[in-house]
Amino acid sequence: MMNLIKEFQKKIIQNQKFIFNKNNYDLVIELKKRGITNNSVLNAINKVPRELFVSENFAKFCYENAPLPVACGQTISQPYVVAFMIDCLKLENTDKVLEIGTGTGYQAALLAHLCMHVYTIEIFSKLYNQAKINHNKLKLTNISHMFGNGVNGWNTSVLFDAIIISAATESFPIKLLQSLKNGGKIIFPKKYSMEEQKLILINKINETKYKHETLFDVRFVPLLET
């Protein structure tokens, strides 16, 4: 793990010029420059301390617009990609959102400021437990956590207004489509080859009709299905 940390630190330092005293204000300014204009999303980002969701080794990088490694070989996604994906869902404060891939809980914390309730599933027990601790520290009471395989969905009769998947998959899990309300949106990274992934937005018109939109190239860890 220590070698991975050193390699990652070297890589991101080589590719970007960092200012280590940045904060949420600086991150919001950066996201605005990148084209994020949804004030609700930007306000949520401004409220959530990203340093809470990364290890001490990467705390000084936490307000850079860059992905960072977390435990279990996973990552906390680039803030721009997180903000863009959430913005695409066009959330209302009455919505119920399903998140697949809690990680350390950063994205769920943002969603909690934008919708009525977040249901989030994590397959790694270490990350599941850490996310719950992080959300408790922030006193976020509108998040429900599940430890398990996200491809199976929430396994209840809950229908969701939006679903966001934080891992790449070659084909969208059918159980998740079935748990989405008509008019709801799903956003996820689709894997096309070993090197190519694209962000996909699906709008469910009804049980048989869907609108697909291909957005831009991304890089996510794979969605685990076992």
The per-residue pLDDT for 207 is: 84
The per-residue pLDDT for 44 is: 97
The model's confidence at residue 174, banded by pLDDT at 50, 70 and 90, is confident
Residues catalogued as catalytic:
77
Residue 137 has pLDDT above 70, yes or no: yes
The per-residue pLDDT for 82 is: 97
Q: What is the mean pLDDT of the chain?
A: 89
Whole-angstrom distance, CA of residue 8 vs CA of residue 123: 24
Residue 143 has pLDDT above 70, yes or no: yes
The per-residue pLDDT for 224 is: 80
The model's confidence at residue 68, banded by pLDDT at 50, 70 and 90, is very high
The pLDDT tens digits of the residues spanning 84-114 come to: 999 999 999 999 999 999 999 999 999 999 9
Residue 7 has pLDDT above 70, yes or no: no
Helix, coil or strand: residue 135? helix
Q: β-strands 75-76, 68-69: how paired? A: antiparallel
- Looking at residues 124-144, what average pLDDT do you find? 97
The model's confidence at residue 4, banded by pLDDT at 50, 70 and 90, is very low
The per-residue pLDDT for 177 is: 86
CB 189: neighbour CB atoms within 10 A? 24
The model's confidence at residue 1, banded by pLDDT at 50, 70 and 90, is very low
The per-residue pLDDT for 109 is: 98
Q: Which of 226, 225, 95, 92 is nearest to 165 (CA)?
A: 225
- How long is the chain? 226
Whether residue 61 contacts residue 83, with contact meaning beta carbons closer than 8 Å, is answered with no
Q: Which of 224, 199, 29, 48 is nearest to 134 (CA)?
A: 48
Residue 141 has pLDDT above 70, yes or no: yes
The model's confidence at residue 20, banded by pLDDT at 50, 70 and 90, is low
Lowest mean pLDDT among 111-125, 178-192, 206-220: 206-220
The per-residue pLDDT for 208 is: 85
The per-residue pLDDT for 25 is: 92
Residue 136 has pLDDT above 90, yes or no: yes
